[in-house]
A and B are shown apart, each in its own frame.
Chain A
Amino acid sequence: MFDFVQMLVSGIASGSAYALMGLAMVIIYKTSKIPNFAQGEMALAPSFFAYMLIDSYHLPFYIACILTFGFSVFLGCMIEIIVLRKAQKSNVLGMIIITIGLEMILLGFVSWKFGAEPKSMPFPISPYDSIPMKDLIKGTDLIIGTLELFTFTIALILMIIIFLFFKFTKFGIAMKATQQNQVIARAMGINTRRIQMMTWAISSFVGCIAGLLVSSITLHPYMMWDPMLKGFSAAVLGGMASLPGSIIGAYIIGILESLFGGYISIEFKSVVSLMIIVVVLCIKPSGLFARHYIKKV
Protein backbone atom coordinates (compact mmCIF):
# COMPACT_ATOMS: atom_id res chain seq x y z
CA MET A 1 0.00 0.00 0.00
CA PHE A 2 2.78 2.35 0.98
CA ASP A 3 4.69 1.71 -2.22
CA PHE A 4 1.62 2.20 -4.31
CA VAL A 5 0.76 5.62 -2.87
CA GLN A 6 4.37 6.68 -3.05
CA MET A 7 4.56 5.75 -6.72
CA LEU A 8 1.30 7.51 -7.38
CA VAL A 9 2.71 10.70 -5.90
CA SER A 10 5.88 10.63 -7.94
CA GLY A 11 3.84 9.76 -11.03
CA ILE A 12 1.68 12.83 -10.50
CA ALA A 13 4.79 14.97 -10.09
CA SER A 14 6.38 13.81 -13.34
CA GLY A 15 2.97 14.01 -15.00
CA SER A 16 2.88 17.73 -14.18
CA ALA A 17 5.96 18.45 -16.28
CA TYR A 18 4.55 16.36 -19.13
CA ALA A 19 1.25 18.21 -18.82
CA LEU A 20 2.94 21.56 -19.31
CA MET A 21 4.80 20.34 -22.38
CA GLY A 22 1.62 18.78 -23.72
CA LEU A 23 -0.34 21.98 -23.13
CA ALA A 24 2.29 24.02 -24.93
CA MET A 25 2.10 21.72 -27.94
CA VAL A 26 -1.69 21.62 -27.99
CA ILE A 27 -1.96 25.41 -27.85
CA ILE A 28 0.08 25.67 -31.03
CA TYR A 29 -1.53 22.66 -32.68
CA LYS A 30 -4.99 24.09 -32.20
CA THR A 31 -4.29 27.35 -33.99
CA SER A 32 -1.99 26.20 -36.74
CA LYS A 33 -2.38 22.41 -37.05
CA ILE A 34 1.36 21.96 -36.56
CA PRO A 35 2.70 19.53 -33.99
CA ASN A 36 5.59 21.68 -32.83
CA PHE A 37 8.56 19.36 -32.46
CA ALA A 38 10.76 22.28 -31.52
CA GLN A 39 8.80 22.68 -28.28
CA GLY A 40 11.36 20.86 -26.17
CA GLU A 41 14.23 22.94 -27.45
CA MET A 42 12.16 26.11 -27.16
CA ALA A 43 12.04 25.23 -23.48
CA LEU A 44 15.69 24.22 -23.38
CA ALA A 45 17.03 27.51 -24.70
CA PRO A 46 15.37 29.67 -22.00
CA SER A 47 16.53 27.25 -19.30
CA PHE A 48 20.13 27.70 -20.41
CA PHE A 49 19.51 31.42 -20.73
CA ALA A 50 18.53 31.46 -17.06
CA TYR A 51 21.62 29.38 -16.21
CA MET A 52 23.79 31.86 -18.09
CA LEU A 53 22.27 34.84 -16.28
CA ILE A 54 22.85 33.24 -12.91
CA ASP A 55 26.22 31.68 -13.61
CA SER A 56 27.93 34.38 -15.66
CA TYR A 57 26.13 37.54 -14.64
CA HIS A 58 25.47 36.56 -11.04
CA LEU A 59 21.87 37.66 -11.05
CA PRO A 60 19.60 36.44 -8.27
CA PHE A 61 17.51 33.42 -9.22
CA TYR A 62 14.12 35.13 -9.25
CA ILE A 63 15.24 38.07 -11.37
CA ALA A 64 16.86 35.64 -13.78
CA CYS A 65 13.56 33.76 -13.94
CA ILE A 66 11.59 36.87 -14.82
CA LEU A 67 14.10 37.81 -17.53
CA THR A 68 13.90 34.25 -18.80
CA PHE A 69 10.12 34.48 -19.11
CA GLY A 70 10.62 37.59 -21.20
CA PHE A 71 13.21 35.78 -23.28
CA SER A 72 10.92 32.81 -23.90
CA VAL A 73 8.08 35.06 -25.06
CA PHE A 74 10.51 36.89 -27.32
CA LEU A 75 11.82 33.59 -28.70
CA GLY A 76 8.29 32.34 -29.44
CA CYS A 77 7.35 35.58 -31.21
CA MET A 78 10.55 35.61 -33.24
CA ILE A 79 10.17 32.02 -34.40
CA GLU A 80 6.63 32.79 -35.52
CA ILE A 81 7.49 36.06 -37.26
CA ILE A 82 10.77 35.11 -38.87
CA VAL A 83 10.19 31.50 -39.82
CA LEU A 84 6.63 30.26 -39.73
CA ARG A 85 4.79 33.33 -40.96
CA LYS A 86 6.93 33.29 -44.11
CA ALA A 87 6.44 29.57 -44.53
CA GLN A 88 2.67 29.66 -44.26
CA LYS A 89 2.19 29.11 -47.97
CA SER A 90 3.85 25.71 -47.74
CA ASN A 91 1.76 22.80 -46.55
CA VAL A 92 1.45 21.38 -43.07
CA LEU A 93 4.06 18.70 -43.72
CA GLY A 94 6.55 21.39 -44.67
CA MET A 95 5.79 23.26 -41.47
CA ILE A 96 6.39 20.13 -39.41
CA ILE A 97 9.77 19.65 -41.07
CA ILE A 98 10.52 23.29 -40.27
CA THR A 99 9.82 22.72 -36.60
CA ILE A 100 12.14 19.71 -36.62
CA GLY A 101 14.79 21.87 -38.26
CA LEU A 102 14.29 24.57 -35.64
CA GLU A 103 14.66 21.95 -32.96
CA MET A 104 18.04 20.90 -34.34
CA ILE A 105 19.21 24.49 -34.72
CA LEU A 106 18.31 25.37 -31.15
CA LEU A 107 19.80 22.15 -29.81
CA GLY A 108 22.99 22.70 -31.77
CA PHE A 109 23.23 26.28 -30.62
CA VAL A 110 22.79 25.36 -26.96
CA SER A 111 25.30 22.49 -27.19
CA TRP A 112 27.80 24.75 -28.93
CA LYS A 113 27.43 27.57 -26.45
CA PHE A 114 27.30 25.60 -23.23
CA GLY A 115 28.82 22.23 -24.00
CA ALA A 116 27.25 18.84 -23.54
CA GLU A 117 28.35 18.06 -19.99
CA PRO A 118 25.62 18.23 -17.34
CA LYS A 119 25.43 21.33 -15.20
CA SER A 120 23.45 22.09 -12.13
CA MET A 121 20.96 24.88 -11.93
CA PRO A 122 21.12 26.81 -8.64
CA PHE A 123 17.46 26.15 -7.99
CA PRO A 124 16.22 27.35 -4.60
CA ILE A 125 14.62 23.97 -3.91
CA SER A 126 16.90 20.97 -4.01
CA PRO A 127 15.58 17.68 -5.40
CA TYR A 128 16.62 16.03 -2.12
CA ASP A 129 14.36 18.11 0.13
CA SER A 130 11.21 16.39 1.16
CA ILE A 131 8.17 16.74 3.33
CA PRO A 132 7.61 13.59 5.35
CA MET A 133 3.97 12.90 6.14
CA LYS A 134 3.67 10.57 9.08
CA ASP A 135 0.58 8.47 9.66
CA LEU A 136 -1.22 9.71 6.60
CA ILE A 137 -3.29 6.60 6.17
CA LYS A 138 -3.19 4.38 9.26
CA GLY A 139 0.46 3.87 9.97
CA THR A 140 1.81 4.52 6.46
CA ASP A 141 4.41 7.22 6.14
CA LEU A 142 4.55 9.12 2.89
CA ILE A 143 7.48 11.13 1.60
CA ILE A 144 6.61 13.94 -0.74
CA GLY A 145 9.54 15.68 -2.38
CA THR A 146 9.35 19.44 -1.96
CA LEU A 147 10.29 19.84 -5.57
CA GLU A 148 7.57 17.44 -6.65
CA LEU A 149 5.01 19.40 -4.71
CA PHE A 150 6.37 22.64 -6.13
CA THR A 151 6.19 21.32 -9.70
CA PHE A 152 2.64 20.15 -9.19
CA THR A 153 1.54 23.48 -7.67
CA ILE A 154 3.13 25.59 -10.38
CA ALA A 155 1.62 23.39 -13.09
CA LEU A 156 -1.80 23.61 -11.45
CA ILE A 157 -1.66 27.40 -11.15
CA LEU A 158 -0.54 27.73 -14.73
CA MET A 159 -3.32 25.47 -15.97
CA ILE A 160 -5.91 27.51 -14.10
CA ILE A 161 -4.51 30.73 -15.57
CA ILE A 162 -4.60 29.25 -19.07
CA PHE A 163 -8.14 28.06 -18.56
CA LEU A 164 -9.29 31.49 -17.33
CA PHE A 165 -7.43 33.14 -20.17
CA PHE A 166 -9.16 31.07 -22.83
CA LYS A 167 -12.53 31.34 -21.19
CA PHE A 168 -12.82 34.96 -20.19
CA THR A 169 -10.35 37.32 -21.82
CA LYS A 170 -10.77 39.08 -25.11
CA PHE A 171 -7.56 37.62 -26.53
CA GLY A 172 -8.33 34.15 -25.27
CA ILE A 173 -11.71 34.19 -26.96
CA ALA A 174 -10.23 35.63 -30.12
CA MET A 175 -7.71 32.80 -30.02
CA LYS A 176 -10.49 30.25 -29.69
CA ALA A 177 -12.28 31.85 -32.62
CA THR A 178 -9.11 31.72 -34.71
CA GLN A 179 -8.70 28.06 -33.85
CA GLN A 180 -12.20 27.20 -34.94
CA ASN A 181 -12.44 29.19 -38.14
CA GLN A 182 -9.65 31.43 -39.24
CA VAL A 183 -11.32 33.02 -42.26
CA ILE A 184 -14.34 34.09 -40.26
CA ALA A 185 -12.24 35.32 -37.38
CA ARG A 186 -10.55 37.66 -39.81
CA ALA A 187 -13.87 38.78 -41.24
CA MET A 188 -14.97 39.61 -37.69
CA GLY A 189 -12.10 42.03 -37.21
CA ILE A 190 -9.66 39.73 -35.42
CA ASN A 191 -6.05 40.20 -36.38
CA THR A 192 -5.27 36.53 -36.83
CA ARG A 193 -1.57 37.10 -37.48
CA ARG A 194 -1.16 38.74 -34.13
CA ILE A 195 -3.15 35.91 -32.59
CA GLN A 196 -0.79 33.37 -34.18
CA MET A 197 2.16 35.25 -32.77
CA MET A 198 0.59 35.35 -29.31
CA THR A 199 -0.09 31.63 -29.53
CA TRP A 200 3.59 30.93 -30.06
CA ALA A 201 4.52 33.34 -27.30
CA ILE A 202 2.17 31.75 -24.78
CA SER A 203 3.20 28.26 -25.77
CA SER A 204 6.86 29.18 -25.49
CA PHE A 205 6.20 30.66 -22.06
CA VAL A 206 4.44 27.52 -20.82
CA GLY A 207 7.24 25.39 -22.24
CA CYS A 208 9.81 27.61 -20.58
CA ILE A 209 8.26 27.02 -17.17
CA ALA A 210 8.33 23.28 -17.81
CA GLY A 211 11.97 23.62 -18.85
CA LEU A 212 12.91 25.51 -15.70
CA LEU A 213 11.17 22.89 -13.56
CA VAL A 214 12.97 20.05 -15.35
CA SER A 215 16.29 21.88 -15.15
CA SER A 216 16.08 21.86 -11.37
CA ILE A 217 16.89 18.14 -11.53
CA THR A 218 19.24 17.99 -14.47
CA LEU A 219 20.59 20.56 -16.88
CA HIS A 220 22.11 19.34 -20.12
CA PRO A 221 21.24 19.85 -23.80
CA TYR A 222 19.24 16.64 -24.08
CA MET A 223 17.19 17.11 -20.93
CA MET A 224 13.98 18.14 -22.74
CA TRP A 225 13.87 15.12 -25.04
CA ASP A 226 12.02 12.91 -22.66
CA PRO A 227 9.49 15.47 -21.35
CA MET A 228 8.81 16.65 -24.89
CA LEU A 229 8.18 13.13 -26.15
CA LYS A 230 5.97 12.35 -23.16
CA GLY A 231 4.15 15.65 -23.51
CA PHE A 232 3.52 14.92 -27.17
CA SER A 233 2.31 11.43 -26.25
CA ALA A 234 -0.01 12.96 -23.68
CA ALA A 235 -1.39 15.38 -26.24
CA VAL A 236 -2.02 12.58 -28.73
CA LEU A 237 -3.61 10.50 -26.00
CA GLY A 238 -5.88 13.39 -25.05
CA GLY A 239 -6.94 14.02 -28.61
CA MET A 240 -4.33 16.60 -29.71
CA ALA A 241 -6.90 19.40 -29.87
CA SER A 242 -8.17 19.37 -26.32
CA LEU A 243 -6.45 21.26 -23.51
CA PRO A 244 -7.97 19.29 -20.61
CA GLY A 245 -7.39 16.13 -22.65
CA SER A 246 -3.67 16.73 -22.83
CA ILE A 247 -3.50 17.38 -19.07
CA ILE A 248 -5.39 14.22 -18.20
CA GLY A 249 -3.35 12.28 -20.74
CA ALA A 250 -0.15 13.56 -19.15
CA TYR A 251 -1.19 12.43 -15.69
CA ILE A 252 -2.26 9.04 -17.02
CA ILE A 253 1.12 8.59 -18.63
CA GLY A 254 3.01 9.91 -15.59
CA ILE A 255 1.20 7.60 -13.17
CA LEU A 256 1.27 4.47 -15.33
CA GLU A 257 4.92 5.01 -16.06
CA SER A 258 5.74 5.36 -12.39
CA LEU A 259 3.74 2.24 -11.50
CA PHE A 260 5.34 0.28 -14.32
CA GLY A 261 8.76 1.40 -13.13
CA GLY A 262 7.97 0.36 -9.59
CA TYR A 263 6.39 -3.03 -10.21
CA ILE A 264 7.88 -4.29 -13.43
CA SER A 265 10.97 -2.67 -14.82
CA ILE A 266 12.73 0.65 -14.38
CA GLU A 267 14.64 0.27 -17.65
CA PHE A 268 11.57 -0.02 -19.79
CA LYS A 269 9.69 2.76 -18.03
CA SER A 270 9.82 5.09 -21.02
CA VAL A 271 8.37 2.52 -23.36
CA VAL A 272 5.08 2.62 -21.48
CA SER A 273 3.95 5.98 -22.77
CA LEU A 274 4.45 4.89 -26.38
CA MET A 275 2.72 1.57 -25.70
CA ILE A 276 -0.26 3.44 -24.27
CA ILE A 277 -0.47 5.59 -27.36
CA VAL A 278 -0.45 2.61 -29.67
CA VAL A 279 -3.18 0.89 -27.69
CA VAL A 280 -5.37 3.98 -27.36
CA LEU A 281 -5.05 4.93 -30.98
CA CYS A 282 -6.08 1.42 -31.98
CA ILE A 283 -9.20 1.59 -29.85
CA LYS A 284 -10.11 5.26 -30.15
CA PRO A 285 -8.24 6.82 -33.07
CA SER A 286 -9.21 10.41 -32.38
CA GLY A 287 -7.81 10.31 -28.86
CA LEU A 288 -9.59 10.07 -25.55
CA PHE A 289 -11.09 13.54 -25.32
CA ALA A 290 -11.37 14.85 -28.85
CA ARG A 291 -14.67 16.39 -29.72
CA HIS A 292 -15.61 15.60 -33.23
CA TYR A 293 -17.79 17.98 -35.04
CA ILE A 294 -19.24 16.76 -38.27
CA LYS A 295 -19.97 19.54 -40.66
CA LYS A 296 -23.35 19.34 -42.29
CA VAL A 297 -23.12 19.14 -46.04
Chain B
Amino acid sequence: MSFFKVENISISFGGVKALNEIAFEVNKGEIFSIIGPNGSGKTTLFNCISGIYKPTNGKILFNESNIMGKNPHNIAKLGIARTFQNIELFPYMNTMENLMIGRHIYMKTGIFRAAFMLGRKSFAAKEESFHREKVEEIMELLDLQSFRNRFVGGLPYGVQKRIELGRALALEPKILLLDEPCAGMTSDEKEDMIFLVQDILEILGVTILLIEHDMKVVMDISNRILAINFGSPIVIGKPQVVQNHPEVLKAYLGEE
Protein backbone atom coordinates (compact mmCIF):
# COMPACT_ATOMS: atom_id res chain seq x y z
CA MET B 1 0.00 0.00 0.00
CA SER B 2 1.38 3.31 -1.01
CA PHE B 3 1.12 6.41 1.14
CA PHE B 4 1.02 8.99 -1.59
CA LYS B 5 1.14 8.29 -5.27
CA VAL B 6 0.90 10.37 -8.40
CA GLU B 7 -0.07 8.41 -11.50
CA ASN B 8 0.69 9.87 -14.90
CA ILE B 9 -0.81 13.32 -14.49
CA SER B 10 -0.75 15.79 -17.37
CA ILE B 11 -1.92 19.33 -17.77
CA SER B 12 -1.54 21.82 -20.56
CA PHE B 13 -2.11 25.54 -20.85
CA GLY B 14 -3.01 26.45 -24.40
CA GLY B 15 -0.50 24.61 -26.50
CA VAL B 16 2.10 24.24 -23.76
CA LYS B 17 2.31 20.91 -22.06
CA ALA B 18 3.15 22.05 -18.56
CA LEU B 19 3.15 18.55 -17.13
CA ASN B 20 3.48 15.40 -19.18
CA GLU B 21 2.84 11.99 -17.65
CA ILE B 22 4.43 12.70 -14.28
CA ALA B 23 4.40 9.69 -11.98
CA PHE B 24 6.02 9.08 -8.61
CA GLU B 25 5.41 7.57 -5.25
CA VAL B 26 6.22 9.01 -1.84
CA ASN B 27 6.81 6.85 1.23
CA LYS B 28 5.63 7.89 4.64
CA GLY B 29 8.20 9.87 6.60
CA GLU B 30 10.60 10.78 3.82
CA ILE B 31 11.72 14.01 2.24
CA PHE B 32 10.99 13.81 -1.44
CA SER B 33 12.41 16.60 -3.56
CA ILE B 34 11.47 17.81 -6.98
CA ILE B 35 14.12 19.60 -9.00
CA GLY B 36 14.28 21.07 -12.45
CA PRO B 37 15.27 24.25 -14.25
CA ASN B 38 13.02 27.32 -14.16
CA GLY B 39 9.71 26.78 -15.89
CA SER B 40 9.99 23.02 -15.82
CA GLY B 41 6.64 22.60 -14.06
CA LYS B 42 7.56 22.09 -10.41
CA THR B 43 5.11 24.60 -9.00
CA THR B 44 2.46 23.47 -11.49
CA LEU B 45 2.83 20.01 -10.04
CA PHE B 46 2.26 21.38 -6.53
CA ASN B 47 -0.75 23.33 -7.75
CA CYS B 48 -2.16 20.11 -9.19
CA ILE B 49 -1.62 18.22 -5.95
CA SER B 50 -3.20 20.95 -3.82
CA GLY B 51 -6.18 21.23 -6.16
CA ILE B 52 -5.64 24.72 -7.55
CA TYR B 53 -5.21 23.29 -11.06
CA LYS B 54 -7.17 20.33 -12.33
CA PRO B 55 -4.97 17.93 -14.35
CA THR B 56 -6.49 16.61 -17.58
CA ASN B 57 -5.72 12.97 -16.88
CA GLY B 58 -4.03 10.71 -14.38
CA LYS B 59 -4.63 10.06 -10.71
CA ILE B 60 -3.37 11.41 -7.42
CA LEU B 61 -3.76 8.80 -4.70
CA PHE B 62 -3.50 9.68 -1.04
CA ASN B 63 -4.00 6.73 1.27
CA GLU B 64 -5.35 4.81 -1.71
CA SER B 65 -8.14 7.28 -2.46
CA ASN B 66 -8.11 9.54 -5.48
CA ILE B 67 -7.91 13.21 -4.56
CA MET B 68 -7.59 14.54 -8.09
CA GLY B 69 -10.28 17.06 -9.03
CA LYS B 70 -11.20 17.86 -5.45
CA ASN B 71 -11.41 21.44 -4.35
CA PRO B 72 -8.43 23.00 -2.55
CA HIS B 73 -10.26 23.33 0.77
CA ASN B 74 -11.22 19.66 0.75
CA ILE B 75 -7.66 18.62 -0.02
CA ALA B 76 -6.45 20.77 2.87
CA LYS B 77 -8.92 19.02 5.13
CA LEU B 78 -7.50 15.63 4.13
CA GLY B 79 -4.13 16.73 5.49
CA ILE B 80 -2.14 18.16 2.61
CA ALA B 81 -0.80 21.60 3.42
CA ARG B 82 1.52 23.77 1.41
CA THR B 83 3.60 26.89 1.37
CA PHE B 84 4.07 29.19 -1.59
CA GLN B 85 7.05 30.26 -3.64
CA ASN B 86 6.36 33.95 -3.20
CA ILE B 87 5.25 34.71 0.31
CA GLU B 88 1.48 34.65 0.52
CA LEU B 89 0.32 35.77 3.95
CA PHE B 90 -2.71 37.67 5.16
CA PRO B 91 -1.05 41.09 5.31
CA TYR B 92 -3.57 42.84 7.57
CA MET B 93 -3.37 40.21 10.29
CA ASN B 94 -0.73 39.61 12.90
CA THR B 95 1.34 36.47 13.22
CA MET B 96 -0.99 34.84 15.71
CA GLU B 97 -4.04 35.44 13.52
CA ASN B 98 -2.25 34.15 10.45
CA LEU B 99 -1.42 30.93 12.24
CA MET B 100 -4.91 30.66 13.68
CA ILE B 101 -6.33 30.66 10.15
CA GLY B 102 -4.48 27.39 9.75
CA ARG B 103 -6.63 25.98 12.56
CA HIS B 104 -9.80 26.90 10.69
CA ILE B 105 -10.66 23.37 9.68
CA TYR B 106 -10.55 22.17 13.29
CA MET B 107 -12.78 24.86 14.74
CA LYS B 108 -16.32 23.83 15.52
CA THR B 109 -17.75 26.92 17.17
CA GLY B 110 -20.51 28.25 14.95
CA ILE B 111 -22.07 31.68 14.96
CA PHE B 112 -24.65 30.86 17.60
CA ARG B 113 -22.26 29.24 20.02
CA ALA B 114 -19.85 32.12 19.51
CA ALA B 115 -22.61 34.63 20.18
CA PHE B 116 -24.29 33.06 23.17
CA MET B 117 -21.72 30.95 24.95
CA LEU B 118 -19.67 33.44 26.86
CA GLY B 119 -17.38 33.03 29.83
CA ARG B 120 -14.23 31.04 30.44
CA LYS B 121 -15.82 27.65 30.91
CA SER B 122 -17.89 27.70 27.73
CA PHE B 123 -17.22 25.43 24.79
CA ALA B 124 -16.19 28.39 22.63
CA ALA B 125 -13.58 29.64 25.11
CA LYS B 126 -12.16 26.18 25.70
CA GLU B 127 -11.88 25.56 22.01
CA GLU B 128 -10.19 28.90 21.41
CA SER B 129 -7.61 28.33 24.12
CA PHE B 130 -6.96 24.78 22.90
CA HIS B 131 -6.19 26.07 19.41
CA ARG B 132 -4.11 28.92 20.76
CA GLU B 133 -2.00 26.42 22.67
CA LYS B 134 -1.46 24.40 19.51
CA VAL B 135 -0.38 27.54 17.69
CA GLU B 136 1.95 28.46 20.56
CA GLU B 137 3.63 25.07 20.22
CA ILE B 138 4.23 25.72 16.54
CA MET B 139 5.50 29.21 17.26
CA GLU B 140 7.94 27.77 19.75
CA LEU B 141 9.17 25.20 17.26
CA LEU B 142 9.70 27.90 14.62
CA ASP B 143 10.99 30.52 17.06
CA LEU B 144 8.25 33.04 16.25
CA GLN B 145 7.10 34.01 19.76
CA SER B 146 8.58 37.48 19.65
CA PHE B 147 6.57 38.36 16.52
CA ARG B 148 3.27 37.14 17.95
CA ASN B 149 1.41 40.46 17.81
CA ARG B 150 3.20 42.11 14.90
CA PHE B 151 1.49 42.70 11.57
CA VAL B 152 3.14 40.38 9.11
CA GLY B 153 3.41 42.91 6.29
CA GLY B 154 6.40 44.65 7.85
CA LEU B 155 8.36 41.66 9.10
CA PRO B 156 11.65 40.51 7.58
CA TYR B 157 11.57 38.11 4.67
CA GLY B 158 12.99 35.14 6.53
CA VAL B 159 10.46 35.55 9.33
CA GLN B 160 7.59 35.76 6.87
CA LYS B 161 8.78 32.51 5.32
CA ARG B 162 8.71 30.88 8.75
CA ILE B 163 5.23 32.25 9.44
CA GLU B 164 4.02 30.73 6.21
CA LEU B 165 5.56 27.43 7.20
CA GLY B 166 3.92 27.72 10.61
CA ARG B 167 0.54 28.40 9.07
CA ALA B 168 0.84 25.25 6.99
CA LEU B 169 1.87 23.28 10.08
CA ALA B 170 -1.14 24.58 11.99
CA LEU B 171 -3.27 22.44 9.70
CA GLU B 172 -1.54 19.40 11.26
CA PRO B 173 -0.82 18.05 7.81
CA LYS B 174 0.22 14.52 6.96
CA ILE B 175 1.99 15.78 3.86
CA LEU B 176 3.63 19.17 3.62
CA LEU B 177 4.40 20.69 0.24
CA LEU B 178 7.24 23.19 0.54
CA ASP B 179 7.70 25.41 -2.50
CA GLU B 180 11.21 26.85 -2.33
CA PRO B 181 11.43 27.39 1.43
CA CYS B 182 15.00 28.66 1.13
CA ALA B 183 14.56 31.03 -1.82
CA GLY B 184 16.14 34.40 -1.26
CA MET B 185 17.62 33.55 2.11
CA THR B 186 21.09 34.16 3.44
CA SER B 187 23.22 31.11 4.06
CA ASP B 188 22.57 31.30 7.82
CA GLU B 189 18.84 31.44 7.31
CA LYS B 190 19.10 28.55 4.88
CA GLU B 191 20.85 26.42 7.48
CA ASP B 192 18.17 27.25 10.02
CA MET B 193 15.49 26.33 7.55
CA ILE B 194 17.14 22.97 6.83
CA PHE B 195 17.19 22.16 10.54
CA LEU B 196 13.57 23.22 10.82
CA VAL B 197 12.51 21.00 7.97
CA GLN B 198 14.34 18.07 9.52
CA ASP B 199 12.75 18.86 12.88
CA ILE B 200 9.31 18.90 11.34
CA LEU B 201 9.95 15.47 9.90
CA GLU B 202 11.33 14.02 13.13
CA ILE B 203 9.15 15.71 15.77
CA LEU B 204 5.86 16.00 13.94
CA GLY B 205 6.29 13.05 11.60
CA VAL B 206 5.17 14.98 8.55
CA THR B 207 6.09 13.67 5.13
CA ILE B 208 7.63 16.41 3.06
CA LEU B 209 7.58 17.19 -0.63
CA LEU B 210 10.16 19.83 -1.39
CA ILE B 211 10.89 22.10 -4.31
CA GLU B 212 14.23 23.81 -4.00
CA HIS B 213 16.77 25.35 -6.31
CA ASP B 214 19.73 25.22 -3.96
CA MET B 215 21.34 21.90 -4.93
CA LYS B 216 23.38 21.70 -1.75
CA VAL B 217 20.22 21.86 0.36
CA VAL B 218 18.42 19.35 -1.81
CA MET B 219 21.27 16.84 -1.84
CA ASP B 220 21.76 17.17 1.93
CA ILE B 221 18.27 16.52 3.15
CA SER B 222 16.40 14.57 0.49
CA ASN B 223 15.80 10.87 0.69
CA ARG B 224 14.83 10.69 -2.96
CA ILE B 225 14.65 13.17 -5.82
CA LEU B 226 12.53 13.55 -8.92
CA ALA B 227 14.08 15.59 -11.71
CA ILE B 228 11.81 17.10 -14.34
CA ASN B 229 12.41 19.21 -17.42
CA PHE B 230 9.81 20.80 -19.71
CA GLY B 231 7.11 19.03 -17.72
CA SER B 232 8.47 15.55 -18.39
CA PRO B 233 10.14 13.36 -15.79
CA ILE B 234 13.84 12.65 -16.29
CA VAL B 235 14.78 10.43 -13.40
CA ILE B 236 13.72 9.43 -9.89
CA GLY B 237 16.26 8.17 -7.40
CA LYS B 238 18.68 8.73 -4.57
CA PRO B 239 20.54 12.05 -4.54
CA GLN B 240 23.83 10.57 -5.80
CA VAL B 241 22.10 8.91 -8.72
CA VAL B 242 20.21 12.03 -9.76
CA GLN B 243 23.24 14.25 -9.28
CA ASN B 244 25.28 12.36 -11.82
CA HIS B 245 22.56 11.50 -14.28
CA PRO B 246 23.61 12.73 -17.76
CA GLU B 247 20.12 14.00 -18.66
CA VAL B 248 19.95 16.08 -15.47
CA LEU B 249 23.33 17.60 -16.16
CA LYS B 250 22.20 18.37 -19.68
CA ALA B 251 19.02 20.05 -18.45
CA TYR B 252 20.95 22.27 -16.07
CA LEU B 253 24.15 22.93 -17.94
CA GLY B 254 23.10 22.55 -21.55
CA GLU B 255 24.67 20.48 -24.25
CA GLU B 256 28.09 20.95 -25.71
Contacts and interface: CB of A to CB of B under 8 A. Distances in A.
Q: How large is the interface on A (under 10, 10 to 19, 20 to 34, 35 or more residues)?
A: 20 to 34
A260 B46 CA distance: 59
B90 A176 contact: yes
Given A189-B76, A190-B73, A180 B81 contact: no
B157 interface: yes
Nearest to B110: A170
B92 A291 contact: yes
B50 A188 contact: no
Interface stretch (B1-9, B95-103, B201-209, B211-219): B95-103
Given A189-B73, A190-B104, A184 B114 contact: no
Interface in A174-197: 174, 176-177, 180-181, 183-192
Contacts of A293: 91-92, 153
A168 interface: yes
Contacts of B77: 189
Which of B72, B76, B102: most chain A CB closer than 10 A? B72
B82 interface: yes
Interface residues of B, number: 34
A188 B104 contact: yes
Contacts of B89: 181, 184
Given A168-B114, A177-B101, A189 B90 contact: no
Contacts, number: 82
B12 interface: no
- Tell me the dominant secondary structure on chain A's binding face: helix
Contacts of A170: 104, 107, 109-110, 114
Which of A174, A180, A183, A189: most chain B CB closer than 10 A? A189
A189 B91 contact: no
A172 to B, nearest CB: 9
Interface string B130-164: 00000000000000000000000100010000000
Given A187-B76, A296-B157, A177 B52 contact: no
A187 B72 contact: yes
Given A188-B76, A188-B105, A293-B92, 5 more contacts: A169-B109, A183-B52, A186-B76, A187-B81, A189-B105
The 3 closest A-B pairs by CB, nearest first: A189-B76, A189-B105, A186-B72
Interface of B: 50-52, 71-73, 76-77, 81-82, 84, 87-93, 97, 100-102, 104-105, 107, 109-111, 114-115, 153, 157, 167, 171
Interface of A: 165, 168-171, 173-174, 176-177, 180-181, 183-192, 291, 293, 295-296
